[in-house]
Amino acid sequence: MAPAWSGSAEVTARIGVLVSGSGSNLQALLDAAADPWFPADIVKVVSNVPGVLALDRAARSGVATEVVDHRGRARAEFEADLLRALGDVDIVCLAGFMRVLTGAFLSAFPGRVLNVHPGLLPLFPGLHAPRQALAAGVTQAGATLHLVDAGVDTGPILAQGTVPVLQGDTEATLAARILTVEHRLYPMALRWIAEGRVVVEGGRATIALKTGESRWIGG
């Protein structure tokens, strides 16, 4: 069972990152955490897919890695193994992790599981958000950083950023443009969570300011 994390300016949060692919968001977090002033350390990276680039990125930064393959096993068993692999981390970051997690997993880290999604939620949840955006003909796309709840891409929104959809965009060119926003937002949102500044009320997140006021951060 993970220790309760209430956030602290003095204590560095221990972060576990779940990945399934290339790990460019993991790289953004590793780069941010290399700054001694960043309030979080990446201590474990777990992939459900063997051999992915994300595992190499973690190893290059000296972070422990593990593969927990989801194939051919019951979800409860897979999630129990993920929890074991994560160990005593305080916060879990999903970074291109392509499995849905149930309440059984999430209850081990209440309000402390973050996800990045390549769409402006609540529009285009689920798979292939850039493809969905192109199909819908929108002129603005973007990324969402949110806390994870038991729904699919439904948890409280921490931060969003937009990019234009350009003439001639393909799914690949749009996804690449959206990734640049993801890489900017993820370390920022992780900092807020690590410092214990995020308050969730009625499904909406606000960030506590040093003045004692709180500011809406959902937009």
Residues marked as catalytic: 117
Cβ of residue 4: shortest distance to ligand GAR, in angstroms? 27
Q: Which of 7, 16, 96, 187 binds ligand GAR (CB under 6 A)?
A: 96
Structure tokens, 44: 């474990």
Residue nearest to ligand GAR (CB): 96
Binding positions for ligand GAR, 97-116, rule CB under 6 A: 98, 116
Residues 120 and 159: their CA atoms lie apart, in Å, by 10
Give which of 146, 76, 81, 141 is closest to 117, Cα–Cα: 146
Backbone angles phi, psi at 112, to 5 degrees: -130, 25
Taking CB under 6 A as the rule, does residue 173 contact ligand GAR? no
| Angle 33-5-88 from CA coordinates, rounded to 5° | 75
Q: Which of 16, 111, 118, 156 binds ligand GAR (CB under 6 A)?
A: 118
Q: Which residues contact 175 (CB under 8 A, 6 or more apart)?
A: 118, 130
Q: Which of 182, 193, 206, 207 binds ligand GAR (CB under 6 A)?
A: 182
How many distinct helices (H) and strands (E) make up the chain? 6, 10
Taking CB under 6 A as the rule, does residue 93 contact ligand GAR? no
Taking CB under 6 A as the rule, does residue 179 contact ligand GAR? yes
Binding positions for ligand GAR, 38-77, rule CB under 6 A: 54
Cβ of residue 98: shortest distance to ligand GAR, in angstroms? 6
Taking CB under 6 A as the rule, does residue 85 contact ligand GAR? no
Q: Which residues contact 209 (CB under 8 A, 6 or more apart)?
A: 197, 215
Binding site for ligand GAR (CB under 6 A): 21-25, 54, 95-96, 98, 116-118, 179, 182
